[in-house]
Amino acid sequence: MNLRNLSRSRVVSRQRTTDVGVAVARHLLVRSLRQNRMHHVLAGCVSVVGFVLRNAADGETFEEAGRTLYRNPDRAKRVIRPEILHWDSEASVRQTRENDLGKTLAGNDHVIGFAYDEDAFPLAFRLAADGILPLAVADLSVLKAASRAAGIRGLADEVLATAVGEPLALLSMVIKPGRSRLHIERSLRRVKKDQLARSSQGRSSVVTMPSLDDLHGFGEAAVWGHELAKDLEDYRAGRLPWADVDRGVLISGPTGTGKTTFAQALARTCRVPIHIHSLARWQAAGYLNDLLKAMRRAFRDAIVDAPSILFIDELDSFGDRETLEGRHEQYSREVINAFLECLDGVDGREGVVVVGATNLPDKIDKAILRPGRLGKHVKIPLPDLDARIGILRHHLRGDCTSADLADIALRLEGASGAVIEQLVRDARRKARSERRPMTFADLLHGLPVRIVQTEEAFHEACVHEAGHALVGHFLGGQSGNRLIESQVFREVGMDGSGGRTVMRQIPGRNLGKAAYSAQIAILLAGIAAEEIVFGDHADGGGGTEDSDLRQATLIAATMEVSLGLGSSLVYLSSRRPDAVLARLQTDPLLRQHVATTLDGSFMRAKRIITDRATAFDRIVGLLLERGCASAEEIECEIATA
């Protein structure tokens, strides 16, 4: 521990600083105190306060700034010299004698402590302190204010922006009163050039990582990522305040869609460092106290690197406080509460964008997802045909450049980006084992086995999708959805489906009981058509998480227990699928109401198909012939029937 100036606090004349580094440090100390509503410290009241250093090299500069921090409340405009304590290593903390520290704290009215980590402050200091505060980011506005305070004016914003993030001692050496503006600008540009050179040597793995422009299939997530990159660039240049930047986002999507890859590409696109963590990694630190320390350290490390991205994988593993139960309930609740504190941050975690990833967004505590934390939610879907071709091209890295990849991409219907990457990796492995270059045949060899449907099965799939298409056409507007297309596959795709009918939600619609009932009828129209044509329906309508029967059942149950659109207005549960289905499993009366709703919608779908048998047969024929039909083609068949 470095204990400097061990005498009692004393009052001295206030002098204007000409050191830019010290001026920056003082601005950051004042900003941190104001953001944490500790104005009494600035007013010169008796206080003990600690600051967590972002950069250990700035310790002496902050000590010097701390000596001129307190303003005496009288009219003499004098400053109070506080007692400055500095723990610059773990060894210094261990060497601190509690008796000496206790005497220092008891014998001085104004004490400021600095340490490299919140846990590095001795226990006695933490108990006596009014607060332990992280220091704010030295952004462009602080550099401009500090330069003016030192009597330096006229430096262009783009020149000062190059100094953001540099050690304060370096700023003191470069930006000095009396030096010409041209000399200062040249020095700062040289600093930036050296910084980029060091970055390219020390972070070559980051430079070689793909950006969002190099990847495919991320949809709206990629659009959001490019917008964030622009915002962070404006934030670094001082053109955009941190309050206007999206500081948190939830990325969700099926397994293998590349959520971690997206986060890494996002960091590359934004030109910022990324810190990758998960609850499991923090739990590996040990008991609850160790977990919480690891979590807070992750946020502090990201703040030190700000602007930066903090990526937290498997966010659903935190759980939801509304559903916690059992002997681990209190443990999980404390973890979630601590995580919320980290997300809020005592200084708003300025400069840190938190990206959470999950396959199960419905299982995340809603407090985590509120605005200001991870309020933005973007989804990464399974890649479409064009995205699958792009993903193949990306992983082929110049191999098979003349090959037409459309057929392979078609056969990868329902495949995630991870599956496509594995296909290319297996093809390369096969070529290496035979000591030759990879060929198009190697890709074909690695394709997953697909089951070719018999003519009978293909006909059944056409009937099923024609039922969805016909009822979707007539009830689409009422349901708040619009029919897009119907497809039937000769070969069963990787998702196990023989076909699909795509409906897209109409934005801006308020949905009532009639709309939800229409949605259920559209979902049940496939098995209704099978029953009309074949006298019974097969198992294709159920059995999976995204099956027609599960979705229809979930809608009907949600109407009853959550939306007040069923047999009563009583609210019994949130509309989260797991909560609704759990209620359904334990409530016989609820199951009876849901069954009545499903039966009524099923009969409605059958009536629509029966009443328009000619149009239905024409849609079936169109699918048998071509395997697909757009909404316009379906409308034409209905109109001419």
d(CA 294, CA 9): 37
Confidence at residue 17, expressed as pLDDT on a 0 to 100 scale:
54
**In the predicted model, what is the mean pLDDT of the chain?**
82
Top pLDDT among 155 and 262 is at: 262
Residue 91 in this model has a pLDDT that exceeds 50: no
Confidence at residue 348, expressed as pLDDT on a 0 to 100 scale:
63
Residue 370 in this model has a pLDDT that exceeds 90: no
Confidence at residue 50, expressed as pLDDT on a 0 to 100 scale:
92
Residue 392 DSSP one-character state = H
- CATH superfamily label, 455-640: Peptidase M41 (1.20.58.760)
Q: How do residues 469-513 score in pLDDT, each as one tens digit?
A: 999 999 999 999 999 999 888 877 655 677 889 888 887 777 899
Where are the domain boundaries for CATH 1.10.8.60 in the chain?
386-448
Where are the domain boundaries for CATH 3.40.50.300 in the chain?
209-379
Edge to edge, the sheet with strand 10-13 lists 10-13, 78-81, 70-71
pLDDT band, residue 559 (cuts 50/70/90): very high
For 4, 480, 524, 533, 571, the CA distances from 108, given in Å and listed in that order, are 13, 70, 77, 91, 59
d(CA 64, CA 16): 13
Where are the domain boundaries for CATH 1.20.58.760 in the chain?
455-640
Confidence at residue 424, expressed as pLDDT on a 0 to 100 scale:
85
Residue 302 DSSP one-character state = H
Residues 6+ apart with CB under 8 A from 350: 136, 137, 139, 242, 303, 306
Average pLDDT over residues 173-187: 73
Cross-strand partners of 309? 274, 353
Top pLDDT among 386 and 77 is at: 386
Residue 127 in this model has a pLDDT that exceeds 80: yes
Residue 246 in this model has a pLDDT that exceeds 90: no
- Give the burial string for 457-476 (b: 16+ CB within 10 Å, else e): bbbbbbbbbbbbbbbbbbbb
Q: How do residues 428-465 score in pLDDT, each as one tens digit?
A: 888 888 888 888 888 887 776 767 788 898 999 999 99
Cis previous bond, 167, omega within 30: no
CB 57 within 8 A of CB 167: yes
Top pLDDT among 328 and 94 is at: 328
Residue 285 host element (H or E): none
pLDDT band, residue 14 (cuts 50/70/90): very low
Confidence at residue 493, expressed as pLDDT on a 0 to 100 scale:
60
d(CA 417, CA 395): 10
pLDDT band, residue 71 (cuts 50/70/90): low
| Residue whose C-alpha is closest to residue 298's, from 364, 284, 287 | 284
d(CA 215, CA 414): 18
Confidence at residue 468, expressed as pLDDT on a 0 to 100 scale:
95
Average pLDDT over residues 49-74: 78
Residue 210 in this model has a pLDDT that exceeds 80: no
DSSP 573-624: S-S-HHHHHHHHHH-HHHHHHHHHHHHHHHHHHHHHHHHTHHHHHHHHHHHH
Confidence at residue 199, expressed as pLDDT on a 0 to 100 scale:
44
Average pLDDT over residues 391-419: 77
Top pLDDT among 8 and 451 is at: 451
Q: How do residues 543-555 score in pLDDT, each as one tens digit?
A: 888 789 999 999 9
d(CA 268, CA 262): 10
The helix/strand/coil state of 48 is: strand
Confidence at residue 602, expressed as pLDDT on a 0 to 100 scale:
96
Write the single-letter amino acid at 591: R
Question: Would you tell me which CATH number, out of the four given (3.30.70.1290, 3.50.50.60, 3.40.50.2300, 1.10.8.60), belongs to the domain 386-448?
Answer: 1.10.8.60
Tokens of 255: 């397994």
How many helical (H) and strand (E) elements, i.e. helices and strands, does the chain have? 27, 18
Backbone angles phi, psi at 49, to 5 degrees: -140, 140
pLDDT band, residue 99 (cuts 50/70/90): low
Average pLDDT over residues 308-316: 91
Confidence at residue 13, expressed as pLDDT on a 0 to 100 scale:
36
CATH fold label, 209-379: Rossmann fold (3.40.50)
Instruction: Provide the whole-model pTM.
Output: 0.56
| Residue whose C-alpha is closest to residue 546's, from 320, 219, 217, 254 | 254
